[in-house]
Structure 1
Amino acid sequence: MGISPYLKIIGRGSEGARALSREHATDLMGQILDGHCTDLEIGAFCVAMRIKGETPEEMAGFLDAVGERMDHLPGSERPVVVLPSYNGARKLPLLTPLLGLLLARKGLPVLIHGTPTEDGRVSSQDALAVVGFAPQPTDHSICPGRVHFVNTESLLPGLKRLLDVRRSIGLRNSAHSLVKLMNPVAGPALIVGSYTHPEYAQSMAATFELMGSNAMLLRGTEGEPVADPRRTPRMDVFLGGQAHLVEEARGGPLDHLPSLPTRIDPISTATYMRAALEGLIPLPESLIIQADHILRACKAIEASGDPSVLAPLTA
């Protein structure tokens, strides 16, 4: 029937718009991902949802559509840590690859997926390329202790096309939230989701609950799924959709700020990563804390979702 009936529901402005059911949201997103919509319809959808905002039920429906179409990676021997990397670095160095390599050192399989969504930002793909990590196909399983980077287009071309709409209209759309919530692995995994604005914390948490996800949620660095090196944010872990607070936000900046590169280009970022991993400079404390919580969360997944494996609340 096309998406025009859905546009009439979601496109009546912030006061008149109504939310879609999960089933209708699944159908709407499926038509977009399958390429059945015109550019005008997709633009209308993006603007309407930007004004209205997505409900958790709508996001769950969108994720259902993505999950039905995505080319999932095979599962691994251990839960795969999923790091969505889409915002890139604007002012601070991009530490998502460093977090991934640190987790791999702890024996976990790590998947970083992403694509550049804004010009002028350094992406994880750029930094990883400098240290010899090329994009991997989706039919390769990830061994424990390894990091794989996968392009979004390899996972689902229609999702990459929807992300690229931002370059045309200058606004983020629902796809920019979807990629931070989805699980591209056909097996046990821990999604590390991040938000930039506090209002997204509640909606992302509600979506993880609806989806029964295993995930970590924190306020990331410039939208990346890594703790700010200058302060330690609140961290929640979801096991089967059930939230567990594992780290309280620590007020104010750290007493001793970590030594960070003054430039954010890929070579400077890669040089910093090598030095930190080789012990030549200390790792940021917040990164160490986050990695430890992720490791415990993966052990909890391996223990059939036993929350007692998680770290106790910080005093």
Structure 2
Amino acid sequence: MSESSLPPVSQTQPIKGSYTMHPFARFIQILGKGRNGMRALTLEEAYEAMQMIACYDVEPEQIGAFLMLMRVKEESAEEVAGFTRALRESLPTQGKEMAPAIDWAAYAGKRRQLPWFLLAALILVKQGYPVCMHGMNRSDARVYVPEALDALGMEAANSLQEAMEGLNETGFCYLPISKLSSLTAQLIATRELLGLRPPLQTVARMLNPFNAALSLIGVFHPNYAAIHTAAAQIEGRRIVVCKGEGGEFERIPDRPLQLSGCDQGELWGESWQPLMQAGTASREQRLNLRHYREVWEGDSGDAYGEAAAVGTLAMAIRALELERAEDAAHRLASQWWRDRHQADSAREAIL
């Protein structure tokens, strides 16, 4: 967060001999009263704290202290739900009635494998399930969604309006968090300043800006899956979470899969078997986006990539409850992968 983007330091001078505590300080006290005195924020306290931050009614030093104390403690489901509720209220109201089928969080980036999950999302769109994807970029060696879209001849949205137009015209949009909520982007960016992961990494994944019926979220650390699903239960939202490749919602084909979800206030979990034998997957050191496009267009093969895309598609099929059984979900996903360009060919023939 740049110095100019932070709330201004108060110019109010205390009366000599008196002490008036800043209203936000009580939340820092709750989190920082030592090992025996500290506790997590309640849902209401988390909501109020993030509402104050969203209204810029805090000092820069308080934001830093608050985020670091949250990182040391680790955010609870109630805190995530409260933070998410406050940040969602700060988002533009424009587009919230669109309600695409799927909200897809993509914040981690890929450093070992290409973003095969994006191909699964595009196939879902072809099958009539609109997808709003949102995420972020960092200046590192990872491949993020905008680069993958560019390789496929597509573009990320540069504004909320462009995202809405993309959903209306194609059924897909990718909206950078900086274009959705500059505050959230600034809070996430404190990672570069403070060196630690802020809780906004968890909260941003839960924002669901267009009120999609279903949210798909990937995590790197398995304990965050339980936090996401419990927060969704508090908020009454439908969500499916997996420990995915690189922290994205993407199947790791040569490992068992644990799916976690919340649907109609009920938590559920499933274990799926690996799609390929462990150790047989090739891990390309170079993230070749030309190869990525060739696989999508059917001009090249990639056993790992295709299994990852199909496996991710199967998870989405299960999340949508088009098929509930693991085998049936994979059969349908495999069919959709094979047929992914048939509609395009038919359209071209008509034109």
Shorter-chain TM band: 0.7 to 0.9
- Matched residue SS, 1:311: coil
| 1:218 to partner: Cα distance | 0.6
Output the CA distance in 1 between the equivalents of 2:228 and 2:58: 27
Cα distance, 1:15–1:53 mapped onto 2, change above 3 Å: farther
Other structure's SS at 1:248 match: strand
Distance change >3 Å, CA 251–CA 295, structure 1 → 2: closer
From the superposition, tell whether residues 190 and 144 of structure 1 become closer, same or farther in structure 2 (CA, over 3 Å).
farther
**Cα RMSD (Å) of the superposition?**
2.7
Name the % identity.
24
Return 288-297 or 201-210, whichever deviates more.
288-297
SS of the residue 1:60 aligns to: helix
Shift of 1:276: 3.4
Say if 2:106 is the partner of 1:85: yes
Q: 1:304 — aligned with what?
A: none
Q: Which amino acid aligns with 1:69?
A: S
Match of 1:263 in 2: 286
User: 2:2 matched to 1:16?
Assistant: no
Show the counterpart of 1:192. Answer: 216
1:38 is aligned to 2:62: no
CA distance in 2, matches of 1:203, 1:167: 24
> Considering only CA atoms, is the larger Rg found in Structure 1 or Structure 2?
2
The CA deviation at 1:175 is 0.3
* Contact 2:253/2:274 (<8 A) preserved: no
Structure 2 residue 235 is matched with structure 1 residue 211: yes
State the 1:84 CA deviation. 1.3
Greater helix proportion: 2
Deviation at 1:244, TM superposition (A): 3.5
1:294 aligns with 2:316: yes
Q: How far apart, CA to CA, are the structure 2 residues paired with 1:310 and 1:211? A: 25
- Is the alpha carbon distance of 1:53 and 1:172 closer, same or farther for their aligned partners in structure 2, counting shifts above 3 Å? same
Question: Are the counterparts in 1 of residues 275 and 307 from structure 2 also a CA contact under 8 Å?
Answer: no
CA distance in 2, matches of 1:79, 1:119: 31
Change (3 A) 1:75 1:269: farther
1:275 and 2:295 aligned: yes
2:130 aligned partner, one-letter code: P
Shift of 1:296: 4.6
Q: SS of the counterpart of 2:216?
A: strand
Match of 2:273 among 247, 250, 260: 250
Q: Structure 1 residue 58: deviation in Å?
A: 1.1
- For 2:290 and 2:214, locate their aligned partners in 1 and report how far apart those are by CA, in whole Å: 25
Gaps of 5+ in 2: 1-21, 329-351
Letter of the 2:286 counterpart? R
Distance change in 2, residues 1:241/1:155 (3 Å): farther
Between Structure 1 and Structure 2, how many residues are aligned? 300
Give the conservation status (yes or no) of the 8 Å contact 1:35–1:158. Answer: no
Q: Per-residue displacement from partner, 1:141-172 (whole Å, max 9, x unpaired)?
A: 51486321111122111101101100101111
Q: 1:145 to 1:36 in 2, by over 3 A?
A: same
Measured against aligned partners, the alpha-carbon deviations of 1:223-243 in whole angstroms (never above 9, x if no partner) come to: 112122433412234323323
Asked if structure 2 preserves the Cα contact closer than 8 Å seen for 1:83 and 1:96, the reply is: no
**CA displacement at 1:104 relative to structure 2:** 1.9
Conserved? CA contact 2:118–2:145, under 8 Å = yes
